[in-house]
Amino acid sequence: MKVAFIGLVLNLLWTFGLSQDLYGFNNAQIVEVGTYLCIGFWSLSVVGFLMMLTGKRKVGSVLLIIGSIIFVPLGLVAILGARKATSKDTDASLEGRETSGRGSATFHAVKQGNLMLGCGIVVLLIFMLSDLSSTASLGAISGIMIVMGVWWKSSPLVEFRDDHLLINRGPVRSKLMLRYSEILRVEYKRRSCILHYRRQGNEVDKDRKIGIASGGLLQHDRGRFELALRNRVERGKQSQDVLEG
């Protein structure tokens, strides 16, 4: 809920800046119409936020998201806050699956996303308070950083499935699929974990390895991630032993 509240405040600041014609439109009609439009959408998002506070999170989050769309890319902060608040309702039911070694589970690089979002917002505020004609590139840079922050927070870093996991290697490269039975060993380091693996049916091939930036996970999520990985790798080894035996 804190992220959603911060998003509402940022959207209000943007509306205030528009009403004062700080963005260099130099057109009274555009400024007036845009200000009323922003006030209307912001009011809708406030109604959604208040509904979320009263326990109606699903309906409230929808209104909050709709009311924040007009403020994108800055509105992505409130949208992300709404999604985060609703996702917490399912955490209790998911935690058992994440650590049991069975079922599906996902982990997101929240810390990395927060860092990108924070830097993007700071750059955006500098852009809003500067001479727009001389710092136009700052607007584009802040937009890219905010979008990347939202991408890191919304795109799973690792997805656990029944018999394999998917590793996110970035917005351009495709995800890497690894069967649990293909993982030979795991090295846990301070900011990452290294998976050593060998593809099935390719025993003559040398071992390969891939790193997962687990340092981008929240502390609580990292503990759950490592436990889930250990349990699933162990189950994969047991299944492989049964097949070979």
Task: Give tens-digit pLDDT for 2-54.
Answer: 788 888 898 888 888 888 887 777 788 888 888 998 999 999 899 988 888 88
Residue 240 clears pLDDT 70, i.e. is over it: no
> Does 120 map to a domain?
no
Domain enclosing residue 33, as ranges: 1-89
> Does 137 map to a domain?
no
Q: What is the domain count for the chain?
A: 2
Give residue 5's pLDDT. 87
CB environment 13-25: b (16+ within 10 A), e (fewer): ebbebbeebeeee
> Does 211 map to a domain?
yes
Give residue 167's pLDDT. 93
Q: Please state, rounded to an integer, the average pLDDT across all residues of the chain.
A: 81
Domain's final residue, options 89, 109, 134: 89
Question: Quick check: 62 and 48 in contact, CB under 8 A?
Answer: yes
Q: Give the Å distances, CA to CA, from 133 to 34, 128, 136.
A: 21, 11, 6
Which of 23-27, 119-123, 213-217, 237-241 shows the highest mean pLDDT? 213-217
Give residue 159's pLDDT. 92
Domain's final residue, options 89, 105, 125: 89
> Does 181 map to a domain?
yes
Percent of the chain with pLDDT strictly greater than 70: 85
Rounded to an integer, what distance in angstroms lies between the CA atom of residue 105 and that of residue 225? 9
Residue 98 clears pLDDT 90, i.e. is over it: no
More confident residue, 224 or 104: 224
Write out the two tokens for 92. 């209790």
Tell me which amino acid residue 201 is. Answer: G
165-185 pLDDT tens trace? 999 988 788 889 999 989 999
> Does 238 map to a domain?
yes
> Does 33 map to a domain?
yes
Give residue 171's pLDDT. 79
Give residue 92's pLDDT. 46
Mean pLDDT value across residues 193-212: 83
